[in-house]
Structure 1
Amino acid sequence: MTESVELFCTVITGFEKVAAKEIAQKLPARNVEWSRGNVRFFIDLNLISLTLKLRSVDNLYAVFYENQVEGLQRMSKMEAIAEIQKQISFCNWKLAVEAWQTMNGKKSSGGSERVVEQMKQFIQEGKETEVSDESPTFRVTCKRCGEKSMHQFTSMDAASKFGAQINNVFGWKCSVKEFDMEVVLRIERDQMTVMMALNRESLFKRNICAYGPTTMRSTMCFCMLSLADVHPGDIVVDPMCGGGSIPIEGAMAWSDAFFVGGDHHELAMERCRQNWPIDSPANQSNCEFVQWDATNLPFPDSSVDAIVTDLPFGKKIGSTTDNRLLYPRLIGEWKRVLKKGGRLVVMTHDKRSLENSILKDRSSWRNDASHIVNVGGLNCLCLRITNVKNV
């Protein structure tokens, strides 16, 4: 029988349901559940490399231990650290190493059989393993959830002492920057979860090489585009595209739809050309960029299937005063070019200006969904509305 593993995926807070839907659609996943900032599910161990196809998740981890450490919040620093170190004996290190090996397509020194034997000798005889030239490198990261004052120890305390115990038991070499494996502790109140990181670089670091002041993560772009319910043959427009992150993500994820991005600033157009060079043989032909005025788009009435865009927040660009005048003009123009039934997905921190703009023409729009999304520490509104009445 094929062994299964539980995966823990970090996602953008506010888009957990979107990520869970993608996971259920793309993977042979079981027991898909989500909570704030993450989605968890089970999948066969030999299939975990399929998770790299996901476009809504930032990071992937294999869970190989989870338990309540009774009274962890009440313990002194020394007691708590000693209790955390004890948990190493209960972790499924065989599963952790095999998950890492499967995802990376290579075997660690000695493989999973070696860590099982080392742990057995440590538990029965107290035998520790010396570091050797063949020893893999690793680091431990601790992430505590909730109020940090609930524990007497710091995240650094837990990470360093747990890492020291890994070094003692397995003889792995600790390296903060140059490491093969990353072990992650997640501690929430008395709950302790131990995970193995499966991707070295965050999955949102794709597509973009030229960044602007408000460039969005590729994972956030995908989630917004998913809300637009893109169909084959659709024309999808980002009227304020900046460096083109939304159209580029769309073109990569939906090869059977066409994406157009535009911006009024020449510097933005230059970033688009760098991020999506037309002479690259790897690029599809389903994405184009045009310099324009977002309040006067070069499209006929009722010609666009969906508009997906990141509005100026009034922080780094513009102001809330400007937005009160700008947003209604944008919404009116976008209603003109959208087909009846066309979808509009917008994101902004200036919730009041957006909501007031929609209310001014409420009979033309149907509110389908709203998400409060964490964007760089700001709680932003992502709204999906449908054009129900053309001008």
Structure 2
Amino acid sequence: MAEDSTSRGLRPHGYSFFCTAGRGMERFVMDELSSKLSADQIECMPGKVFFQGNYDLCSLRKMKSAERIFLLLRKGPPLTEYKGNALFSLRKFVIGDSHLWLDTLQIWKQFQEPSAQRGISHTQEKSLKRKLDDNSSTESKTCKKETIVNEAHLYSEEQAPMEANTQLLPPKPSVRDAEDTGHPLFEHDISEPVAFRVSCRCSGVLTKKMTAQDIGRIIGVALSQQFGWKPDLRRPMLEVFVHLNDMYSVVGFPILRQPLASRDYIQSTGLRATTAWAMASLAEISTAQYVLDPMCGVGTILLEAAMEWPHATFLGIDKSESQLKHALNNVKKAGVMNRVALLQGSVLEFCVLEEFLYYYLAKSFTIT
């Protein structure tokens, strides 16, 4: 079956990305991509939003409604639509063009912060160069397979003969071909393999043929054979994210190690930060001067609003002293003490003049 037009992560007018989003949050992600990043080719699917553009890490961090952001490697139809053996289809789709993996890996490196990047050293690149050129060897070798499956990071280790599986892999690019095309991965000399792990999510019809653990193991072994990469569950340099279901098949590299939803300015968590941001955005407080949250809890909504709209003054009220202590710690950590005030008590006991209150954040309740 013909591959989807967006299956390649490299585009003439920018890179291809996708965001994961919570249930019902896709429209907020799309709005942010349009307003903050002016993204091209925005495509929404349940749980994911695909887009294209040229961005740096700082620009991508502006996204507040997305859970995680990935550099898209491959995107295509569900594997059930491919004809033939399911194992062959899986290997063919995931590995595909070997040079695409190397190109995308180089792009991924550009988004890694120097302080957090374990990096692909020059010695690692030389090892990969030798591995790609080793087409003449027919000896049966054993490789340890370590894969992470689902989001719980289950894994298995077993010995598998390389020769038996190599016949299902696409041809390896030779070093001569790579040097002729000026591939950046071969510009330096190197010796240590890329440390990686596979995070696999699988649902739908495919799970009747293979479990997510089987799929993760197959992909991990294929990558080890094709590129000489080394599985590392504890401290991988690279995470390979694979999601297969009845609607699409996706492979990508997470750009950030921590989810975007994990805000560094929130010490005590309450409502999920992405949901809090969405609630604040629905209040349309972009032109407000005063904003009240009458049941603020640990102040997550107030913080998200204060960080997004710094021109306004925010007031949070809650009856719980312990909740307000957590809220105060969060406000201090975020550095918005001059714009966020907290009061203890019931909102029913306070008299707030409507002429001074532009917007308030609250839930509506129906008595039955």
TM-score (normalised: structure 1): 0.68
Deviation at 1:69, TM superposition (A): 6.1
> Aligned in 2, Cα 1:93/1:103: closer, same or farther, shift over 3 Å?
same
What corresponds to 2:200 in structure 1? 142
In structure 1, the residue matched to 2:323 is 268
Aligned to 1:89: 96
The match for 2:347 among 272, 276, 294 is 294
Distance 1:254 1:20, change over 3 A: same
Seen in structure 2, the aligned counterparts of structure 1 residues 93 and 274 have a Cα distance that, compared at 3 Å, is same
Q: 1:18 aligns with which of 19, 28, 37?
A: 28
Are 2:309 and 1:303 aligned?
A: no
| Structure 1 residues 119 and 237: alpha-carbon distance in aligned structure 2, compared to 1, 3 A threshold | farther
Deviations 1:245-276 (A, max 9, x none): 11111111111111111110111111112212
Question: How far is 1:56 from its partner?
Answer: 1.1
| Structure 2 Cα separation of the partners of residues 10 and 161 of structure 1 | 24
Q: How does 1:50-199 map to 2 (within 5 A)?
A: 50-68=59-77, 71=80, 79-87=85-93, 88-90=95-97, 92-105=100-113, 108-110=120-122, 123-124=170-171, 134-145=192-203, 147=204, 151-189=208-246, 191-199=248-256
Equivalent of 1:41, from 51, 62, 75? 51
Given that 2:19 and 2:67 are in contact with CA atoms closer than 8 Å, whether structure 1 keeps it comes out as yes
Counterpart in the other structure of 2:182: none
Residues 118 and 286 of structure 1: CA distance in aligned 2, closer, same or farther (over 3 Å): farther
Q: Tell me the alpha carbon deviations over residues 111-142 of structure 1, each in whole angstroms, 9 at most, x when there is no partner.
A: 889868965766546999xxx96323211111
Does the Cα contact within 8 Å between 1:138 and 1:172 map onto a contact in 2?
Answer: yes
SS at match of 1:83: helix
Aligned pairs for 1:226-241 (under 5 A) are: 226-241=281-296
For 1:61 and 1:112, the matched residues in 2 are separated by 23
The verdict on how the C-alpha distance between 1:112 and 1:66 changes in structure 2, with shifts beyond 3 A counting, is farther
**What is the alpha-carbon distance in structure 2 between the residues aligned to residue 185 and residue 305 of structure 1?**
46
- Please tell me the residue identity of whatever aligns with 2:267: C
Task: Report the aligned-residue RMSD.
Answer: 3.2
Report how far residue 95 of structure 1 moved: 3.7
The alpha-carbon distance between structure 1 residues 291 and 135, as it changes in their structure 2 partners (threshold 3 A), is same
Q: Secondary structure at the match of 1:104?
A: coil
Find the aligned partners of 2:132 and 2:19 in 1 and give their Cα distance. 28
| Aligned counterpart for 2:268 among listed residues 207, 210, 213 | 210
C-alpha distance in 2 between matches for 1:190 and 1:241: 39
Contact 1:73 / 1:189 at 8 angstroms: preserved in 2?
Answer: no
Could you list the runs of 5+ residues in structure 2 that have no partner in the other structure?
1-10, 136-169, 176-189
- Secondary structure (helix, strand or coil) at the match of 1:41 reads strand
Higher relative contact order (CA 8 A, sep 6+): 2
Structure showing the higher strand proportion among its residues: 1
Rounded to whole Å, the distance in 2 between the matches of 1:229 and 1:127 is 56
The aligned amino acid for 2:105 is V
Deviations 1:210-266 (A, max 9, x none): 24xxx1111111111111111244211111111111111111111111111111011
1: CA distance, partners of 2:32 / 2:224: 38
Paired residues of 1:251 and 1:284 also in contact (CA < 8 A): no
- Runs of 5+ consecutive residues of structure 1 not aligned to the other structure: 312-330, 332-353, 361-391
What residue in structure 1 maps to residue 4 of structure 2?
A: none
CA contact (8 A) 1:64 1:93 kept: yes
Q: Which residue of 2 aligns with 1:326?
A: none
Shift of 1:193: 1.6
Q: 1:71 deviation in Å?
A: 3.9
270 and 230 in structure 1: CA distance in 2 versus 1, 3 angstrom threshold: same
Output the amino acid matched with 2:120.
Answer: S
Percent identical pairs in the alignment equals: 22
Residues 17 and 51, structure 2, Cα contact 8 Å, conserved in 1: yes
The answer for the alignment partner of 1:388 in structure 2 is none
Aligned partner of residue 249 in structure 1, secondary structure: helix
Q: TM-score, normalization: structure 2?
A: 0.72
Aligned-partner Cα distance in 2 for 1:299–1:221: 23
* Superimposed CA distance per residue, residues 66-91 of structure 1 (whole angstroms, 9 cap, x where no aligned partner): 2336646997xxx4234312330336
